Amino acid sequence: MARIAVVGIGNLLMKDEGVGVHVARALGRLPLPPDVEVVDGGTSLDPFFLEVDKLIVVDAARGGGEAGAIYRFRPDDIAPESEAVLSLHQMGLMEGLKMAACAGAVPKDVVIIGVEPKEIDWGLELTPELQGKLPKVIEAVLGEIGEEEREC
């Protein structure tokens, strides 16, 4: 099992909602360390990936910024009554993490990279704003992977 899992979450049929999957696919074409697994998580988080040391989730997130803004947060940063940056899949992701915690299978480190969507509507392509930000999102994920390696 990989020490680090990068899971891109999103719906490819809904334009910017699919940003996490687009990022996962782009990362899958890069040479990454052998202990890193990149997964297209679709619209949910498979508990299988909760058994790694570090989980990096990439998803669309509404935080009130401009389209393509990149947010970095942790599950503890999200409060049910909060108006903080919230993943569009918060309930599924957060419930999955809570269930895994009950089973003792939560990674030591969970980071969520959220990307502010411009448009969530029918369509297979990202908006030009998000397409233009993909390199920065990938850079943020690679930074998380590199940060883990420096700590070892």
pLDDT digits (tens, 9 = 90+) for 116-141: 999 999 999 999 999 999 999 999 99
CATH topology of domain 4-151: Rossmann fold (3.40.50)
Predicted pLDDT of residue 79: 62
Distance CA 55, CA 5 (A): 5
Q: 82-120: per-residue pLDDT in tens? A: 444 455 444 466 666 676 677 767 788 999 999 999 999
- Phi first, then psi: give them for residue 70, nearest 5 degrees: -110, 130
5 bridge partner residues:
37, 55
- Inter-CA distances, 7 with 24, 56, 80, 108, Å: 7, 6, 23, 16
Chain CA centroid to CA 131, Å: 16
